[in-house]
Amino acid sequence: MKPRITNRQGFTLIELLLYLAIASVILLSVSVFLSLILQSRVKNQTIAEVEQQGLEAMHAITQTIRNSSSVTVPIVGGSSVTLILAVPLPEKSPTVFDLSGGALRIIEGANGAVVLTNNRVTISNLSFTNLSSTSSKDIIRVQFILKHLNPGSRNEYDYQKKFYGSAERR
């Protein structure tokens, strides 16, 4: 009797379904992992943008206060949403910091307003407080909340931070 040679080519239906199920699970896992990585990257970029914009705005305000000749608004012991400074350069005096439409602006002398923050963030609760006494140099406390805009209400774009700072006129 001659031995039978079986010629098996291809896969059975069970093997094929098993391979498809394993491949589907692997692809689903990879796509979920990549989605989480992208959301994390966007969240980190959002945080970095708010931090950078806030620090740059605070630096611009405090440096201008330090280099100013005098503080016009707010008065000693008072608070204001606008800061008006007399500066040594006549073409830049007065220098005004204020809030317009959620953006921080600086107006130097007769020049037009320059926006210090970009259109992806908004500032609220801007406050300048004159902490000085009549016998000391002007000390101004600055505080504001900077929030990243989130028109789609997505979690990764939801971030805000409160910034505090102060500067003494030299």
Domain range summary for the chain, segments of one domain joined by +: 13-168
What confidence tens digit (pLDDT) does each residue in 39-68 have?
999 999 999 999 999 999 999 999 999 999
What three-state secondary structure class fits 6?
coil
Q: Residue 7 — very low, low, confident or very high, per pLDDT cuts 50/70/90?
A: low
What confidence tens digit (pLDDT) does each residue in 121-164 have?
999 999 999 998 877 789 999 999 999 999 899 999 999 999 99
Q: Which amino acid, 63? A: Q
φ, ψ dihedrals at 108, nearest 5°: -110, 110
Model pLDDT, residue 133: 83
- The two tokens of residue 50 are 């708010």
How many DSSP H helices and E strands does the chain contain? Answer: 1, 9
Q: What is the pTM of this model?
A: 0.82
Could you write out the three-class secondary structure of 48-91?
A: HHHHHHHHHHHHHHHHHHHCCCEEEECCCCCEECCEEEECCCHH
Query: In angstroms, rounded to a whole number, what is the distance separating the alpha carbons of residues 155 and 153?
Result: 6
Give Cα 133 to chain centroid, integer Å: 34
Model pLDDT, residue 10: 78
The residue to which tokens 């204001």 are assigned: 80
Quick check: 58 and 165 in contact, CB under 8 A?
yes
